[in-house]
Amino acid sequence: MEDFQVLILAAGKGKRMKSKLPKVLHKICGKEMINILIDKVKKAGFKKIVCVLGFKNEEVKKVLDKNIKIVIQNPQEGTAHAVLQSLPFLKKQHILILYGDHPLIKKETLKKIAQFHKRTNADLTLLITELESPNQYGRIIRDCEGRIRKIKEFLDLRGSERKIKETNPGVMCFKKEVLEDNIKKIRRNKKKGEFYLTEIVEILYLKRAKIREVKSIYPEEEGLGVNTFQDLIRAEKILRREILESFLKKGVKIFSPELTLIDLDVKIGRDTVIYPFTVIERNVKIGKNCIIGPFSHIREGTIIKDNTEVGNFAELKNTFVDSFTKIKHFCYLGDSQIGKKVNIGAGTVTANFDGIKKHKTTIGDGAFIGCDTILIAPVKVGKNAKTGAGTVIPKNKDVEPNSVVIGVPAKKLIKK
Protein backbone atom coordinates (compact mmCIF):
# COMPACT_ATOMS: atom_id res chain seq x y z
CA MET A 1 0.00 0.00 0.00
CA GLU A 2 2.98 2.27 -0.52
CA ASP A 3 1.24 4.40 -3.15
CA PHE A 4 -1.91 4.91 -1.05
CA GLN A 5 -2.70 7.55 1.55
CA VAL A 6 -5.68 7.35 3.91
CA LEU A 7 -7.73 10.43 4.74
CA ILE A 8 -10.04 10.16 7.76
CA LEU A 9 -12.75 12.79 8.12
CA ALA A 10 -13.37 13.37 11.83
CA ALA A 11 -14.22 17.05 12.23
CA GLY A 12 -17.92 16.72 13.04
CA LYS A 13 -19.50 17.71 16.33
CA GLY A 14 -22.04 14.89 16.40
CA LYS A 15 -25.08 16.98 17.33
CA ARG A 16 -27.44 14.00 17.41
CA MET A 17 -25.44 12.40 20.23
CA LYS A 18 -26.24 15.38 22.45
CA SER A 19 -22.83 15.13 24.10
CA LYS A 20 -20.06 17.60 24.91
CA LEU A 21 -17.52 14.98 23.87
CA PRO A 22 -16.42 14.97 20.20
CA LYS A 23 -18.24 12.13 18.45
CA VAL A 24 -15.11 10.21 17.44
CA LEU A 25 -13.89 10.11 21.07
CA HIS A 26 -16.84 8.07 22.28
CA LYS A 27 -15.55 4.63 23.20
CA ILE A 28 -16.66 1.26 21.89
CA CYS A 29 -15.40 -1.74 23.87
CA GLY A 30 -13.03 0.52 25.78
CA LYS A 31 -11.47 2.32 22.80
CA GLU A 32 -12.16 5.60 21.02
CA MET A 33 -13.96 4.88 17.77
CA ILE A 34 -11.43 6.89 15.75
CA ASN A 35 -8.60 4.74 17.11
CA ILE A 36 -10.55 1.57 16.33
CA LEU A 37 -10.68 2.72 12.72
CA ILE A 38 -7.02 3.80 12.66
CA ASP A 39 -5.92 0.40 14.00
CA LYS A 40 -7.76 -1.31 11.15
CA VAL A 41 -6.19 1.05 8.62
CA LYS A 42 -2.73 0.18 9.92
CA LYS A 43 -3.44 -3.56 10.02
CA ALA A 44 -4.60 -3.36 6.40
CA GLY A 45 -1.11 -2.16 5.49
CA PHE A 46 -1.61 1.59 5.04
CA LYS A 47 1.21 3.66 6.50
CA LYS A 48 0.36 7.28 5.62
CA ILE A 49 -2.70 8.64 7.46
CA VAL A 50 -4.16 12.16 7.52
CA CYS A 51 -6.97 13.07 9.94
CA VAL A 52 -9.22 16.10 9.50
CA LEU A 53 -10.30 17.44 12.89
CA GLY A 54 -12.60 20.29 13.86
CA PHE A 55 -14.81 20.33 16.94
CA LYS A 56 -12.65 20.30 20.10
CA ASN A 57 -9.69 19.18 18.00
CA GLU A 58 -7.24 19.55 20.91
CA GLU A 59 -9.06 16.78 22.79
CA VAL A 60 -8.97 14.49 19.77
CA LYS A 61 -5.28 15.18 19.13
CA LYS A 62 -4.40 13.85 22.58
CA VAL A 63 -5.51 10.30 21.75
CA LEU A 64 -3.99 10.09 18.26
CA ASP A 65 -0.66 8.60 17.27
CA LYS A 66 1.94 11.33 16.78
CA ASN A 67 2.79 9.96 13.32
CA ILE A 68 -0.65 10.92 12.00
CA LYS A 69 -0.82 14.20 10.12
CA ILE A 70 -3.51 16.50 11.53
CA VAL A 71 -5.47 19.00 9.42
CA ILE A 72 -7.84 21.44 11.16
CA GLN A 73 -11.07 22.28 9.36
CA ASN A 74 -12.23 25.71 10.42
CA PRO A 75 -14.95 26.65 9.68
CA GLN A 76 -16.59 23.25 9.23
CA GLU A 77 -18.43 23.48 5.94
CA GLY A 78 -18.97 19.85 5.03
CA THR A 79 -17.06 16.80 3.90
CA ALA A 80 -15.95 18.16 0.53
CA HIS A 81 -14.60 21.26 2.25
CA ALA A 82 -12.69 19.00 4.67
CA VAL A 83 -11.09 17.15 1.76
CA LEU A 84 -10.22 20.44 0.08
CA GLN A 85 -8.38 21.57 3.23
CA SER A 86 -6.37 18.35 3.15
CA LEU A 87 -5.20 18.42 -0.46
CA PRO A 88 -1.80 20.07 0.25
CA PHE A 89 -0.93 17.13 2.51
CA LEU A 90 -2.01 14.33 0.16
CA LYS A 91 1.12 13.20 -1.67
CA LYS A 92 0.39 9.66 -2.80
CA GLN A 93 -1.03 8.42 -6.11
CA HIS A 94 -4.25 7.04 -4.58
CA ILE A 95 -6.37 8.47 -1.75
CA LEU A 96 -8.66 6.28 0.39
CA ILE A 97 -11.24 8.41 2.22
CA LEU A 98 -12.95 7.12 5.38
CA TYR A 99 -15.27 8.59 8.00
CA GLY A 100 -14.24 8.57 11.65
CA ASP A 101 -17.73 7.57 12.80
CA HIS A 102 -17.72 4.25 10.87
CA PRO A 103 -15.47 2.15 13.14
CA LEU A 104 -16.75 -1.29 12.07
CA ILE A 105 -15.16 -1.30 8.62
CA LYS A 106 -13.11 -4.51 8.28
CA LYS A 107 -9.39 -4.33 7.57
CA GLU A 108 -9.93 -6.99 4.89
CA THR A 109 -12.44 -4.72 3.17
CA LEU A 110 -10.04 -1.78 3.16
CA LYS A 111 -7.34 -3.92 1.62
CA LYS A 112 -9.77 -5.34 -0.93
CA ILE A 113 -10.94 -1.89 -2.05
CA ALA A 114 -7.39 -0.60 -2.52
CA GLN A 115 -6.30 -3.65 -4.48
CA PHE A 116 -9.41 -3.64 -6.69
CA HIS A 117 -9.12 0.12 -7.29
CA LYS A 118 -5.55 -0.23 -8.47
CA ARG A 119 -6.10 -3.41 -10.48
CA THR A 120 -9.02 -1.92 -12.43
CA ASN A 121 -7.31 1.46 -12.89
CA ALA A 122 -10.47 3.14 -11.56
CA ASP A 123 -10.87 6.88 -11.12
CA LEU A 124 -13.15 6.28 -8.16
CA THR A 125 -14.01 3.08 -6.27
CA LEU A 126 -16.93 3.02 -3.82
CA LEU A 127 -17.83 0.59 -1.05
CA ILE A 128 -21.49 -0.39 -1.38
CA THR A 129 -23.50 -1.64 1.59
CA GLU A 130 -26.95 -3.09 0.95
CA LEU A 131 -29.05 -2.59 4.09
CA GLU A 132 -32.48 -3.92 4.99
CA SER A 133 -33.26 -0.62 6.76
CA PRO A 134 -31.12 2.18 5.33
CA ASN A 135 -33.06 4.77 7.38
CA GLN A 136 -31.48 8.22 7.02
CA TYR A 137 -28.43 7.19 5.01
CA GLY A 138 -27.90 8.52 1.49
CA ARG A 139 -28.70 6.13 -1.36
CA ILE A 140 -26.86 4.90 -4.44
CA ILE A 141 -28.70 6.05 -7.56
CA ARG A 142 -28.03 4.07 -10.76
CA ASP A 143 -28.78 4.78 -14.40
CA CYS A 144 -30.84 2.51 -16.67
CA GLU A 145 -27.74 0.41 -17.39
CA GLY A 146 -27.01 -0.15 -13.72
CA ARG A 147 -24.04 2.20 -13.53
CA ILE A 148 -23.60 4.34 -10.41
CA ARG A 149 -24.86 7.81 -11.34
CA LYS A 150 -24.90 9.64 -8.02
CA ILE A 151 -25.18 9.40 -4.25
CA LYS A 152 -28.28 11.19 -3.05
CA GLU A 153 -28.51 12.47 0.51
CA PHE A 154 -31.52 11.31 2.52
CA LEU A 155 -33.15 14.74 2.67
CA ASP A 156 -33.05 14.95 -1.13
CA LEU A 157 -34.64 11.56 -1.77
CA ARG A 158 -38.01 11.49 -3.49
CA GLY A 159 -40.74 8.84 -3.69
CA SER A 160 -39.47 5.37 -4.57
CA GLU A 161 -35.85 6.46 -4.05
CA ARG A 162 -36.35 5.94 -0.32
CA LYS A 163 -36.94 2.23 -0.99
CA ILE A 164 -33.43 1.85 -2.39
CA LYS A 165 -31.30 -0.30 -0.07
CA GLU A 166 -27.84 0.44 -1.45
CA THR A 167 -25.79 2.97 0.52
CA ASN A 168 -22.20 4.17 0.66
CA PRO A 169 -20.70 4.33 4.19
CA GLY A 170 -18.31 7.09 3.14
CA VAL A 171 -15.58 4.78 1.86
CA MET A 172 -14.21 6.23 -1.39
CA CYS A 173 -10.93 5.54 -3.15
CA PHE A 174 -9.70 8.11 -5.70
CA LYS A 175 -6.87 8.63 -8.06
CA LYS A 176 -5.30 11.71 -6.54
CA GLU A 177 -5.38 13.77 -9.73
CA VAL A 178 -9.07 12.93 -10.24
CA LEU A 179 -9.86 14.11 -6.73
CA GLU A 180 -7.85 17.31 -7.16
CA ASP A 181 -9.39 18.15 -10.54
CA ASN A 182 -13.01 17.73 -9.41
CA ILE A 183 -13.33 18.56 -5.70
CA LYS A 184 -13.59 22.30 -6.40
CA LYS A 185 -16.53 21.72 -8.74
CA ILE A 186 -18.81 20.69 -5.88
CA ARG A 187 -21.47 23.28 -5.12
CA ARG A 188 -22.84 24.20 -1.70
CA ASN A 189 -25.93 22.18 -0.72
CA LYS A 190 -28.86 24.62 -0.53
CA LYS A 191 -30.64 22.86 2.34
CA LYS A 192 -27.70 22.43 4.69
CA GLY A 193 -25.33 25.08 3.41
CA GLU A 194 -22.43 22.63 3.24
CA PHE A 195 -20.27 21.07 0.55
CA TYR A 196 -20.93 17.31 0.32
CA LEU A 197 -18.20 15.00 -0.95
CA THR A 198 -20.88 12.66 -2.30
CA GLU A 199 -21.61 15.24 -5.04
CA ILE A 200 -18.36 14.28 -6.73
CA VAL A 201 -19.89 10.98 -7.86
CA GLU A 202 -22.33 12.68 -10.23
CA ILE A 203 -19.62 15.04 -11.47
CA LEU A 204 -17.43 12.07 -12.41
CA TYR A 205 -20.37 10.16 -13.93
CA LEU A 206 -21.17 13.04 -16.27
CA LYS A 207 -17.52 13.12 -17.34
CA ARG A 208 -17.71 9.37 -18.08
CA ALA A 209 -15.00 8.68 -15.51
CA LYS A 210 -14.26 5.11 -14.51
CA ILE A 211 -16.40 4.49 -11.38
CA ARG A 212 -16.10 1.04 -9.84
CA GLU A 213 -17.65 -0.59 -6.77
CA VAL A 214 -16.91 -3.19 -4.14
CA LYS A 215 -19.92 -4.73 -2.38
CA SER A 216 -19.59 -5.27 1.35
CA ILE A 217 -20.06 -8.82 2.60
CA TYR A 218 -20.62 -7.38 6.10
CA PRO A 219 -23.16 -4.66 5.23
CA GLU A 220 -24.85 -4.30 8.63
CA GLU A 221 -21.50 -3.76 10.36
CA GLU A 222 -19.71 -1.73 7.72
CA GLY A 223 -22.77 0.34 6.90
CA LEU A 224 -23.31 1.41 10.50
CA GLY A 225 -22.49 5.06 11.08
CA VAL A 226 -22.42 6.08 14.75
CA ASN A 227 -24.59 9.19 14.92
CA THR A 228 -26.57 8.58 18.12
CA PHE A 229 -26.12 6.74 21.39
CA GLN A 230 -28.46 4.08 20.00
CA ASP A 231 -25.97 3.57 17.15
CA LEU A 232 -23.12 3.46 19.66
CA ILE A 233 -24.81 0.65 21.60
CA ARG A 234 -25.47 -1.27 18.37
CA ALA A 235 -21.80 -0.97 17.41
CA GLU A 236 -20.78 -2.06 20.91
CA LYS A 237 -22.90 -5.21 20.72
CA ILE A 238 -21.53 -6.14 17.30
CA LEU A 239 -17.91 -5.60 18.28
CA ARG A 240 -18.26 -7.38 21.63
CA ARG A 241 -19.68 -10.42 19.86
CA GLU A 242 -16.71 -10.42 17.47
CA ILE A 243 -14.24 -10.16 20.38
CA LEU A 244 -15.83 -13.04 22.29
CA GLU A 245 -16.04 -15.27 19.20
CA SER A 246 -12.38 -14.58 18.49
CA PHE A 247 -11.35 -15.77 21.96
CA LEU A 248 -13.55 -18.86 21.74
CA LYS A 249 -11.80 -19.79 18.49
CA LYS A 250 -8.42 -19.39 20.21
CA GLY A 251 -9.24 -21.89 22.95
CA VAL A 252 -10.53 -19.60 25.71
CA LYS A 253 -13.56 -21.09 27.48
CA ILE A 254 -16.19 -18.42 28.08
CA PHE A 255 -19.16 -20.01 29.82
CA SER A 256 -21.68 -17.24 29.11
CA PRO A 257 -20.60 -14.89 26.32
CA GLU A 258 -23.83 -12.93 26.70
CA LEU A 259 -22.91 -12.21 30.35
CA THR A 260 -19.22 -11.41 29.79
CA LEU A 261 -17.68 -8.09 28.73
CA ILE A 262 -14.22 -8.08 27.16
CA ASP A 263 -12.74 -4.90 25.69
CA LEU A 264 -10.45 -4.43 22.71
CA ASP A 265 -6.67 -4.91 23.03
CA VAL A 266 -7.04 -7.77 25.52
CA LYS A 267 -4.90 -10.91 25.34
CA ILE A 268 -6.00 -14.20 26.93
CA GLY A 269 -4.11 -17.50 26.75
CA ARG A 270 -5.40 -20.91 25.75
CA ASP A 271 -7.38 -23.04 28.26
CA THR A 272 -8.22 -20.06 30.43
CA VAL A 273 -11.77 -20.16 31.79
CA ILE A 274 -13.90 -17.02 32.07
CA TYR A 275 -16.97 -17.33 34.28
CA PRO A 276 -20.13 -15.18 33.92
CA PHE A 277 -20.46 -11.53 34.96
CA THR A 278 -16.77 -10.85 34.39
CA VAL A 279 -15.53 -7.54 32.99
CA ILE A 280 -12.08 -7.41 31.37
CA GLU A 281 -11.00 -3.95 30.31
CA ARG A 282 -8.69 -2.77 27.54
CA ASN A 283 -4.94 -3.52 27.68
CA VAL A 284 -5.26 -6.51 30.01
CA LYS A 285 -3.09 -9.60 29.50
CA ILE A 286 -4.13 -12.96 30.96
CA GLY A 287 -2.01 -16.08 30.59
CA LYS A 288 -2.80 -19.72 29.91
CA ASN A 289 -4.84 -22.07 32.11
CA CYS A 290 -6.20 -19.32 34.38
CA ILE A 291 -9.61 -19.12 36.06
CA ILE A 292 -11.30 -15.71 36.06
CA GLY A 293 -14.63 -14.93 37.72
CA PRO A 294 -17.47 -15.04 38.27
CA PHE A 295 -18.09 -11.36 39.04
CA SER A 296 -14.45 -10.37 38.54
CA HIS A 297 -13.40 -6.92 37.31
CA ILE A 298 -9.99 -6.90 35.63
CA ARG A 299 -9.10 -3.29 34.89
CA GLU A 300 -6.73 -1.66 32.45
CA GLY A 301 -3.01 -2.32 32.80
CA THR A 302 -3.34 -5.64 34.64
CA ILE A 303 -1.14 -8.60 33.72
CA ILE A 304 -2.03 -12.07 35.01
CA LYS A 305 0.42 -14.89 34.36
CA ASP A 306 -0.29 -18.58 33.73
CA ASN A 307 -2.18 -20.88 36.13
CA THR A 308 -3.59 -18.08 38.27
CA GLU A 309 -7.06 -17.82 39.81
CA VAL A 310 -9.04 -14.59 40.26
CA GLY A 311 -12.41 -15.32 41.80
CA ASN A 312 -15.70 -13.86 42.99
CA PHE A 313 -15.94 -10.08 43.33
CA ALA A 314 -12.22 -9.48 42.92
CA GLU A 315 -11.09 -6.21 41.32
CA LEU A 316 -7.58 -5.75 39.93
CA LYS A 317 -6.24 -2.49 38.53
CA ASN A 318 -2.79 -1.92 37.01
CA THR A 319 -1.56 -5.00 38.83
CA PHE A 320 0.96 -7.69 37.91
CA VAL A 321 0.12 -11.18 39.19
CA ASP A 322 2.69 -13.94 38.74
CA SER A 323 1.90 -17.60 38.07
CA PHE A 324 0.16 -20.09 40.41
CA THR A 325 -1.27 -17.30 42.59
CA LYS A 326 -4.78 -17.41 44.05
CA ILE A 327 -6.97 -14.34 44.57
CA LYS A 328 -10.26 -16.00 45.36
CA HIS A 329 -12.81 -13.67 46.96
CA PHE A 330 -13.79 -10.05 47.67
CA CYS A 331 -10.46 -8.30 47.00
CA TYR A 332 -9.16 -5.03 45.64
CA LEU A 333 -5.58 -4.99 44.35
CA GLY A 334 -4.50 -1.71 42.77
CA ASP A 335 -1.04 -0.71 41.53
CA SER A 336 0.38 -3.94 42.91
CA GLN A 337 3.14 -6.45 42.14
CA ILE A 338 2.15 -9.94 43.27
CA GLY A 339 4.66 -12.79 43.19
CA LYS A 340 4.37 -16.51 42.42
CA LYS A 341 2.34 -18.95 44.53
CA VAL A 342 0.83 -16.18 46.65
CA ASN A 343 -2.45 -16.66 48.48
CA ILE A 344 -4.58 -13.53 48.81
CA GLY A 345 -7.22 -14.02 51.50
CA ALA A 346 -10.82 -12.90 51.20
CA GLY A 347 -11.39 -9.19 51.82
CA THR A 348 -7.79 -8.12 51.16
CA VAL A 349 -7.45 -4.47 50.12
CA THR A 350 -4.49 -2.48 48.89
CA ALA A 351 -5.05 1.13 49.95
CA ASN A 352 -3.12 2.58 47.04
CA PHE A 353 -4.39 6.17 46.95
CA ASP A 354 -3.51 8.76 49.59
CA GLY A 355 -5.75 11.46 48.14
CA ILE A 356 -2.99 12.90 45.94
CA LYS A 357 -0.89 10.06 44.51
CA LYS A 358 -1.20 6.36 43.75
CA HIS A 359 1.36 4.13 45.50
CA LYS A 360 2.62 0.61 44.89
CA THR A 361 2.21 -2.55 46.93
CA THR A 362 4.67 -5.43 46.44
CA ILE A 363 4.01 -8.96 47.71
CA GLY A 364 6.80 -11.51 47.35
CA ASP A 365 6.70 -15.12 46.16
CA GLY A 366 4.98 -17.60 48.44
CA ALA A 367 3.42 -14.98 50.73
CA PHE A 368 0.16 -15.76 52.53
CA ILE A 369 -2.13 -12.76 53.04
CA GLY A 370 -4.80 -13.45 55.66
CA CYS A 371 -8.46 -12.50 55.33
CA ASP A 372 -9.35 -8.80 55.61
CA THR A 373 -5.73 -7.65 55.51
CA ILE A 374 -5.33 -3.99 54.53
CA LEU A 375 -2.01 -2.97 52.98
CA ILE A 376 -1.49 0.79 53.01
CA ALA A 377 0.82 1.64 50.11
CA PRO A 378 3.63 2.13 49.59
CA VAL A 379 4.50 -1.13 51.31
CA LYS A 380 6.30 -4.43 50.68
CA VAL A 381 5.59 -7.91 51.96
CA GLY A 382 8.61 -10.20 51.73
CA LYS A 383 8.85 -13.72 50.34
CA ASN A 384 7.00 -16.42 52.30
CA ALA A 385 5.72 -13.84 54.81
CA LYS A 386 2.28 -14.21 56.41
CA THR A 387 -0.31 -11.77 57.70
CA GLY A 388 -2.99 -12.64 60.23
CA ALA A 389 -6.68 -12.06 59.60
CA GLY A 390 -7.68 -8.40 60.01
CA THR A 391 -4.09 -7.12 59.92
CA VAL A 392 -3.46 -3.50 58.88
CA ILE A 393 0.02 -2.86 57.48
CA PRO A 394 0.87 0.89 57.60
CA LYS A 395 2.66 2.58 54.72
CA ASN A 396 6.43 2.11 54.55
CA LYS A 397 6.25 -0.54 57.29
CA ASP A 398 7.57 -3.40 55.18
CA VAL A 399 7.05 -6.99 56.24
CA GLU A 400 10.26 -9.02 56.38
CA PRO A 401 10.60 -12.27 54.39
CA ASN A 402 9.50 -15.44 56.24
CA SER A 403 7.95 -13.42 59.07
CA VAL A 404 4.40 -13.36 60.47
CA VAL A 405 2.62 -10.10 61.30
CA ILE A 406 -0.72 -9.59 63.05
CA GLY A 407 -2.83 -6.81 64.51
CA VAL A 408 -3.65 -3.12 64.00
CA PRO A 409 -1.12 -1.77 63.27
CA ALA A 410 0.77 -4.87 62.18
CA LYS A 411 3.36 -6.22 64.56
CA LYS A 412 5.74 -9.12 64.12
CA LEU A 413 4.61 -12.29 65.82
CA ILE A 414 7.41 -13.66 67.98
CA LYS A 415 7.11 -17.31 68.85
CA LYS A 416 8.03 -18.23 72.44
Same structural domain, 210 and 353 = no
Question: Does the structure show a pLDDT above 80 at 191?
Answer: no
Same structural domain, 206 and 330 = no
Catalytic residue among 94, 297, 329, 359: 329
Exposed/middle/buried for 159, CB within 10 Å: 0-12, 13-18, 19+? exposed
Same structural domain, 33 and 176 = yes
Same structural domain, 94 and 123 = yes
329 tagged catalytic: yes
Q: What CATH number has the domain bearing residue 61?
A: 3.90.550.10
Residue 361 CA to residue 375 CA, distance in Å, equals 7
Exposed/middle/buried for 300, CB within 10 Å: 0-12, 13-18, 19+? middle
Same structural domain, 150 and 9 = yes
* CA gyration radius, the chain: 27
334 within domain boundaries = yes
Question: Does the structure show a pLDDT above 70 at 416?
Answer: no
Question: Does the structure show a pLDDT above 90 at 192?
Answer: no
In this structure, are residues 311 and 300 in contact, taking their beta carbons and an 8 Å threshold?
no
Same structural domain, 166 and 283 = no
Residues 156-167, mean pLDDT to the nearest whole number: 91
232 within domain boundaries = no
Same structural domain, 160 and 38 = yes
Between the alpha carbon of residue 380 and those of residues 318, 337, 358, 361, 377, the distances in Å are 17, 9, 15, 6, 8
Percentage with pLDDT > 70 across the chain: 100
Percentage with pLDDT > 90 across the chain: 91
Between the alpha carbon of residue 170 and those of residues 189, 223, 326, the distances in Å are 17, 9, 50
Residue type at position 401 = P
Residue 217 CA to residue 96 CA, distance in Å, equals 19
Domain of 153 in residue numbering reads as 4-222
Residues 287-310, mean pLDDT to the nearest whole number: 98
212 within domain boundaries = yes
pLDDT-based confidence at residue 154 (cuts at 50, 70, 90): confident
Q: Tell which phi-psi region holds residue 30, choosing left (phi > 0), alpha (psi between -120 and 50) or beta.
A: left
Same structural domain, 214 and 275 = no
In this structure, are residues 367 and 382 in contact, taking their beta carbons and an 8 Å threshold?
yes
Same structural domain, 128 and 22 = yes
Same structural domain, 311 and 366 = yes
The count of domains in the chain is 2
Same structural domain, 216 and 288 = no
Reported as a single tens digit per residue, the pLDDT across 109-138 is: 999 999 999 999 999 999 999 999 898 899
Q: Strand 261-262 relative to strand 343-344: parallel, antiparallel, unpaired?
A: unpaired
For the beta carbon of residue 378, count every other beta carbon within 10 angstroms: 17
228 within domain boundaries = no
